[in-house]
Each structure stands twice: as C-alpha cells, then as structure tokens.
Amino acid sequence: MATGTEQHVKTEVEQDAKKSVKSLQNFFNKFNNDWVMSFASALAFNLITAILPILIAIIAIVGFVFGNLDPTAESQLLDHLKVIFPGSGNFLQLALASLNKNAGILSVLAILLAVFGGSRLFISMEGYFDIIYHVRPRGVIKQNIMAIVMLLIFIVLTVPMVLAASIPTLIITVLKDLSFNQLVGNSILNFIFWVIGILISLFISWILFEAIYIVVPNQHISFRNSWPGAVVAAVLLQIYLQLFPLYVVHFLGSYTGNIAFVIILLFFFYYFAVILLIGAEINAFFAEGIQATADNLAVMIYKITSQTATSEMKIQEETASSHKEVELKAKDIQEPAPPPHREMEPQEKDIHDLVRPSHNEAEPQEIGP
C-alpha cells in the first residue's frame, strides 16, 4: 500500500514538473515572439531622449514647490537624482543650465516642452505593451492624456525615491550629532542602514512599476494581475543597481571621456528596459493568461499580407524570395510563351487533307470556244 502511495506521489510530482517546464517553454516562446529584446533597444533609446526633459521637469517642479533652491539644496538635489538616474550627471547639468538660462515665460515654456517631450516615453512604452498584451492602441488624445499622467506620477514618486536614498546618510548624521560615533563606526550597523535603504528603494521601485503596469497598457489590469511582474521587476532592478557599477569597472573600464559616458548610459538603459518588459511579460502570460502567438511578428505580417493578395502579380511579389525573382516571374506573366509545335497524328492528317481543297479544285476551269 505504501509503495502504491509513493508511486502515486512520484507520478504527481513528475506531472507537475512537466507542466512547469512546458509553461516556462511557452513563456520563453512568447518572450521571443514578442521581440522583447529588440523592443528593449528601442525603449532604451526612448529613455535616453526622454531623460533630459524629465529631469528639467523634476528640477523645475521641485523648485516651484520648495521655492528657489539655494546652492546647497541644489547640490543635494543633484546628488540624489544621480543616485536615482545613474550616469545622468551631464544631463543634470544641461537641465539645470536650461532652467537657469530661461526666466519668466521662457521658463514656463521650457517646462511645458519638457513635459511634452518626457511624456513621449510612455507613448512608446504603450506601443510595446500593446504587443505584449495583444490589444489595440489608444486613440491619440487618450494616449497623450495617459502619457502626461504617467509622467506626473513618475515625478511625484521621484520625491520619496530621493528621500529613500538619503535615509541612511540622514541616520548616520543624526547619530553623529548625538555623539554616537562608536555606533556610526560599527560595520554591522552600517550594513543594517544599507539594507534599510535598499528595502525602502525596493518598495518605491515596486510602486513605480506597479503604476506603469496598471496605467500604461490599453487594458484594465487589476492589482492582483499586476503585482507579480512589479515585484520581479523591482527586485531585478535593485540587483541590477548593485551589480552595474561592478560591470562598468570590469567590462567598460577601458572607455574614457564622453564615449565612456554614452556607452555606460546605453548599457544601463538597455538592461533597465529589458527588466521593465520582462515584468510586463510575466503579468501578461502568468496573470492575464495571454499565450504566445504561433509565430513572431515578422512571420505573422508575412502571412497576413500573403493572404490578402488578389492579383497574380501581387502574389508573385509577396511569395518571391528576392527582387530578381519577382522580375523573372513578372516577365513570365506579361509575356506568355507560345504553345509548342505539335506534329499531327496520321488520322488528323487524313481528315485535314479531305477538308482542305486541292490545288486543282481551287483553280477555275477554262471553258473552250
């Protein structure tokens, strides 16, 4: 009896393992068919082009909320933003210079343009999410409203992210003021402060990803179906932020100057985009139950366009493997070859001779005088 029970349990475990492996294979197929890695490259470019407008908007809004920042507060704000946006030092200087150069109406115009430019990031993001969730895109007006709302949410969440990055330093400063220098020098306590800062940053990152996964897709996504991908993305982001400096030192250390800055920024935003799209794929596949398509995007478009062809020439163009093949097939269609000459059978030849008038019959008979 015990042997039969053990065999039954073993069979169930094997079946569960097979289901898990098959599910992961289907997830990988969806990940591959949705062109996630290719879209991550495009999204990384969108992030780079949007970071300057976003930073201008953040600095301007913080300045409006807290008044004109003194040099010390301004320096602290820039340091905190560098923690949130690694490798953005040059962009921060450009954003600050842009705001300091403009005043009055020009400053307001610069902020409006920054809001518009930064919101383009979320419009591009919606396009990638539409493919992942297999939904239609929003209309132009709804798209822009969503993008501006997401930009404002991102700016609002930046404030607690800045505070989270400052908490360990703030605690150490307070302890120094209270003459607890021995505690400050304790490595275990410093490690605890470091862990607290990471946990707070992890929580803020999760809120940011949660907002993106709920608001950006053109589909109602509940909290229940959005938190798994947000948790995975937030954890991967924190691991990535801890390992990325080591990656830069060991693999990108040979680059120097502005080239190094551009390359590091490209790598950082590329892997950040991969993490963002992985979270969306997890929500779409495991939570929403959206399965992989039969083929990738290129094959699907090819099949759709081939099925909609009507004329013979169009079909030849769509099924050809090269332009040269199209030209050859088009020539065959436009200039059909003459039918081959066929020798007549003996019976057909006899019938042909009977029907055809002879030469003597064809000539008129002369009548004598």
Which domain, by its residues, includes 327? Answer: 300-334
Does residue 301 have a pLDDT over 70? yes
251 assigned to some structural domain: yes
The predicted-structure confidence for 147-163, as pLDDT tens digits, reads as follows 999 988 887 776 666 66
Q: Which three-class secondary structure state does DSSP give residue 283?
A: helix
Contact of 275 with 307, CB cutoff 8 Å: no
Confidence of residue 369 (pLDDT cuts 50, 70, 90): very low
Instruction: Please give the full DSSP string across 292-348, using - where no structure is assigned.
Output: PPSS-HHHHHHHHHHHT--SHHHHHHHH-SSHHHHHHHHHHHHSPPPPPP-PPPHHH
346 assigned to some structural domain: no
Mean residue pLDDT across the chain: 74
The predicted-structure confidence for 170-205, as pLDDT tens digits, reads as follows 565 655 555 555 555 556 766 777 777 788 878 888
63: its two tokens? 């300045």
Write the CA distances from 234 to 87, 204, 223, 231, 361, integer angstroms.
19, 9, 15, 5, 104
367 assigned to some structural domain: no
Residue identified by tokens 């930009």 is: 151
- One domain, residues 326 and 256: no
- One domain, residues 283 and 304: no
pLDDT at res. 13: 75
Q: Which of 263, 293, 323 is the last residue of a domain?
A: 293
The predicted-structure confidence for 77-131, as pLDDT tens digits, reads as follows 666 666 555 555 566 666 666 555 555 565 677 677 778 888 889 999 999 999 9
Tell me how far apart the terminal alpha carbons of the chain are, to the nearest angstrom.
131
26 assigned to some structural domain: no
- How long, in residues, is the chain? 369
- One domain, residues 175 and 307: no
User: How many structural domains is the chain composed of?
Assistant: 2
Q: What is the pTM of this model?
A: 0.69
pLDDT at res. 173: 61
Question: Mean pLDDT over residues 276-296, rounded?
Answer: 93
pLDDT at res. 276: 95
* Phi and psi at residue 334, to the nearest 5°: -75, -35
267: its two tokens? 């790598």
250 assigned to some structural domain: yes
Question: Mean pLDDT over residues 328-354, rounded?
Answer: 53
- One domain, residues 194 and 304: no
- One domain, residues 145 and 250: yes
Contacts (Cβ under 8 Å, ≥6 apart) of 266:
44, 48
Rounded distance between C-alpha atoms, residue 352 and residue 335, angstroms: 31
Helix-helix angle 71-84:36-66, to 10 degrees: 160
Confidence of residue 29 (pLDDT cuts 50, 70, 90): very high
CA angle 235, 121, 157 (to 5 degrees): 50
